[in-house]
Amino acid sequence: MIAAEFISHLLTPLRTSDSGEEALTIMNVYHVKHLPIVNNEKLLGTISEDDILGHELTEPIGSYGLSLLKGFVNKEDHLFEVMGKMAEYKLTTIPVIDDDDTYLGAITQEELIHFYADSFSFKEPGSILVLEMHKRDYSLAEISRIIESENIAILSTFLTTKPDTEQVFVTLKINSQDAKHAIATLQRYDYTIRASFTEATFVQNLKERYDALMSYLNV
């Protein structure tokens, strides 16, 4: 899962000679709010929709005198690095370069969302459990041992931190649509279960959030 595997060659980069109007048209077609600017295969930076709207749309973007966003990733960077950079610079599109700083293409936020929707066992039948615990008590090996004692497998996990505390939330996707036995066993070992979702409930919630996000990206 490296950046090179997610490059979109359909997304057209901008040149400094392109007008603001042309840039906004491309953004609208691909449902993004950022586009890379490339001259002679070299990345100059990334321009935002807000930057363009603050200038005369008929003028070339090279005349704007912009302080371009510098967020980019190398083709060998891991997917997590890509996501971290997109979050850091608040980008809907991030450029990808090679070791010679040559522009190779871009990765869009929408493509990453589709990838996650199709990966990490989201489509596998099962249930979702959310555990809360202190960071020092977290052991995936121990949690797995307890879950597997009920002949249940963990399909995927996510770890998130509770802001301004030493607490963490551990989200588990398990391969059983009946989570009662897993919950009861975890509680016997003094684990705190903050939430649980059956497959039907979780899929409906996920679909609603996904549809809302897609609607937002299409604005």
Greater pLDDT, 141 or 212: 141
CA distances, 23 to each of 9, 187, 218 (Å): 17, 55, 16
Residue 184 has pLDDT above 90, yes or no: yes
Residues 208, 215: contact at Cβ < 8 Å?
Answer: no
Give the per-residue pLDDT at 197: 84
Give the per-residue pLDDT at 164: 87
Q: How many Å apart are CA 179 and CA 204, to the nearest integer?
A: 18
Give the per-residue pLDDT at 209: 65
Any idea which residue has 């409930």 for tokens?
A: 201
If residue 134 lies in a helix (H) or strand (E), which one and from where to where? strand 127-134
Give the per-residue pLDDT at 152: 94
How much is the average pLDDT of 127-134?
A: 94
Q: How many Å apart are CA 201 and CA 106, to the nearest integer?
A: 35
CB atoms within 10 A of CB 145: 11
Q: How many Å apart are CA 87 and CA 187, to the nearest integer?
A: 36
95: amino acid identity, one letter: P
Q: How many Å apart are CA 63 and CA 16, to the nearest integer?
A: 8
Give the per-residue pLDDT at 211: 66
Q: What is the pTM of this model?
A: 0.67
Give the per-residue pLDDT at 166: 93
The string over 56-69, giving b where at least 16 C-beta atoms fall within 10 Å of a residue's C-beta and e elsewhere, is eeeebbbebebebb
pLDDT in tens, 66-100: 667 778 999 999 988 998 899 888 899 999 999 98
Say which residues have a Cβ less than 8 Å from residue 174's Cβ, sequence separation at least 6: 126, 127, 128, 129, 147, 152, 153, 154, 155, 182
Residue 188 has pLDDT above 90, yes or no: yes
